[in-house]
Structures are given as structure tokens and as C-alpha cells.
Amino acid sequence: MGPGPSCVSDSVYAALARPTIGHLDPFFIEIMDTEKKNLKTIFRTGNELTLPVSGTGSAGMETCFVNLVNPGDKVLILVNGVFGTRMADVAGRLGANATVREFEWGTPVLVDAVREELAKQKFAIVAVVHAETSTGVRNPVEEIGRIVKDHGALYLVDAVTSLGGIDVRMDDWSIDAIYSGTQKCLSCPPGLAPISFSSRAVEKLKARTTKVPNWYLDLSLIMNYWEGSKRAYHHTAPINMVYALYQALYDLLAEGLEKSFARHADAHAYLVAELEKIGLTLLVAPESRLPMLNAVRCPEGIDEAKIRSRLLDEHKIEIGAGLGPLAGKIWRVGLMGHTARHENVDRLITALKHVL
């Protein structure tokens, strides 16, 4: 019940432990094709370039920036937490001319401020985190997408924690590059980063005059393994992780995306109500709260780290600590994927009553 990894179902563990076959085996290619199709459904996109990158969620972030940033590109990064800050670090290392617009942690990115920045200068890329895992804030990705589209920049979105738990509509929201992780609302162990690039993003990638400065994450090479008839070997895919994600996506689509979103919303509402009964409140204003990541204010005069240790040691429940300016001030309670169930909320509340 921390900020991820989330609980994994038995079906996904079983898939993970299936016999390892070759990365060019025709049966494995079939698995890849189905996984790609299901990722497109879940991202709500028709983008051909949709696949899981062979690394964890942060490798997805690295992939989006390293393939799309040309040195000197003006990039606007909207920051209201750890993962926005990380985007700025990643982009800066790649030679981007980055403008960082900061917002108070625990509050959302303001659409008017984005409009203001875009009026000041022309950006090649605008980047934002959908679900800021460090604060529990949902950023207005759809609204920002409208103004980024008018501006003409590429729109890069972090959907690590949102995908599978709240709606992510890549095409409708004019997103050009998106990445996620397997260990949040997809309820799969960590190890892969689903990504998708729009045709505009692919055009920019193909128009590069220099090679992508990262061989391992160069999508112009990787797409030749995941697409078409040639299936050119690039690197050995993490076969068993691909099996696990296959099963996790299958399970999510078997439940249905809308039902999964409703289950997350319901578990969240129940958690908030039960926390209130024991006098605990949330950091984030109701209209910007994420269902899958709940930032709970630590009561005054309490050793918050000790509470977390006792939850883990005595009750086998993990919750997360606050980060950066929120260290010591909040706990982060995850209700992600398979974890988003009333019985887990009940177990946490019972344990909290014990240890507080």
C-alpha cells in the first residue's frame, strides 16, 4: 500500500514464471503483437509506435526525452513534485534549453500559468506528469493538451501512476509521447515501461540529423524489432517480464477499464471516509486528488517514520514517506491496481488504530 510496486495477482505471477523462450521465437512475436494491441487500447491510442521499453518507469521517461530532444530545443517542464523535477533533470542532461515552471507541491499545475508561458516564447516540447506520485495530485492533462496543441509543441506526458487507475486518453488529449510503468495500476512487477509516440513524435524522431545519444533506448532501432515483418534483433527482450505484462493487461481488459477506474475511485472514497473517522485528513484538495495515491497528513507530534516501521514490522503493510518539502509531513498510501480494494483499506485502518 505504498507508492508502488502494487500487489500482484496470482495470474500475473504464474505468467512471470512461464518457461523463457527466445526473443525471436514466432510464439514470442505473437505475444508481443497482442501486448502492443492491448497497450494501444489502454492508452486509448491508434499509435503504431506503442510498446514496453526494457526498463522501469524512469527508463520510459528517459526514452521519451532522449528520442525527442535535440540539443538546444526549448522545453517547458511543469513541476509540482519529484517526478516533474526529475523530468527537468533528464531533459537538462540531454542538452535541452529547459524552462521550469514550478507550482506548490500538493497543488495542481495551473492551466493559466501554462498559457502564460506559451505566450512568452515558442517551445518544441511541453512536459507534465499526469499523476504526481510524490504528492497525490492529478494534473489537468486534458486542459493543458488543448493549449499545447494550439501552440504546436509536442506534448509529453508521464502516465506512470495514472495508467489503469484513471482515464488516460492519449489521442483525445493530443498527447505526442507518453510513458508508464508496470508496477502501479497495471499490477505487474516493476521492470517494463510502456510508451507510445504519436505520428508527429515519430516524424520528429525520423527527422533527427544526429543519432539518438542512447543506443539502448533508441526507438528508431527498437521499433524495427517490435513492428513489421523483419523483426530485426536489437537487444534481448526481458522475456518473462513481457509475459507478466501480457497477463496484467489481459486481466485489466477482462475487468474493463471503466470498472477498474470505478474500483479505484470507490476504494479511494472509502479510504478517505475511514481515515476521517480516525481524525486523519488528506493533503490535496478534493478536486485534485488521485484515487490511487493518497497523501495523508501526519498528525502533529508524532514520529512518522516509526509509524511506518511499525506498520511494516507488526502488520506487514508498507506505506510511503513524504519526499522533498513534504518529508515528515505526509504518508503516501497507495491504492493501485489489485491493491485498490475495501479489504486492504480495512486492514490499513485497523493497523493504524493499533499503532497511532
Residues that bind a copy of itself (CB under 8 A): 2, 4-5, 7-8, 13-14, 16-17, 19-23, 25-26, 54-59, 61-62, 66, 86, 89-90, 92-95, 181, 183, 189-191, 211-216, 233-241, 244, 312, 318, 323
In this structure, what are the phi and psi dihedrals at residue 325, rounded to the nearest 5 degrees?
A: -65, -15
> Cβ of residue 183: shortest distance to a copy of itself, in angstroms?
6
Q: Smaller CB distance to a copy of itself: residue 128 or 311?
A: 311
3-state secondary structure of 189: coil
* Count of C-beta atoms within a 10 Å radius of residue 179: 26
- Where is 196: in which H helix or E strand? strand 193-197
Residue 157, helix vs strand vs coil: strand
The nearest distance, CB 177 to a copy of itself, in angstroms, is 16
Closest contact distance (angstroms) between CB of 149 and a copy of itself is 28
The residue (of 8 and 284) whose beta carbon lies closer to a copy of itself is: 8
CB of 292 to a copy of itself, least distance (A): 15
Are 321 and 331 contacting, i.e. CB atoms less than 8 angstroms apart?
A: yes
Which residue, 176 or 218, has its beta carbon nearer to a copy of itself?
218
Q: Do the Cβ atoms of 292 and 336 come closer than 8 Å?
A: yes
Nine cell digits for residue 332: 503516501
Q: What are phi and psi of 298, to 5 degrees?
A: -75, 135
CB of 212 to a copy of itself, least distance (A): 7
Smallest separation (angstroms) from a copy of itself to the CB of 167: 23
d(CA 180, CA 80): 18
CB of 328 within 8 A of CB of 156? no
CB 162 within 8 A of CB 114: no
Q: Determine whether 226 is exposed, middle or buried from the number of CB atoms within 10 Å of its CB (0-12, 13-18, 19+).
A: buried
Output the smallest distance, CB 253 to a copy of itself, in A.
21
Count of positions (residues) in the chain: 356
Residue 152 CB, nearest approach to a copy of itself (Å): 27
Residue 326 Cβ vs a copy of itself, minimum distance, rounded to whole Å: 14
DSSP codes of every residue in 327-356: TTTEEEEE--GGG-SHHHHHHHHHHHHHH-
Residue (of 325, 268, 285, 281) closest to 108 by Cα position:
285
Identity of the residue, 95 or 152, whose beta carbon is nearer to a copy of itself in the bound complex = 95
DSSP letter at 275 equals: H
Beta carbon nearer to a copy of itself, 223 or 272:
223
Q: In the complex with a copy of itself, which residue's Cβ is closer, 45 or 180?
A: 180
What is the C-alpha separation between 70 and 123, in angstroms, rounded? 12
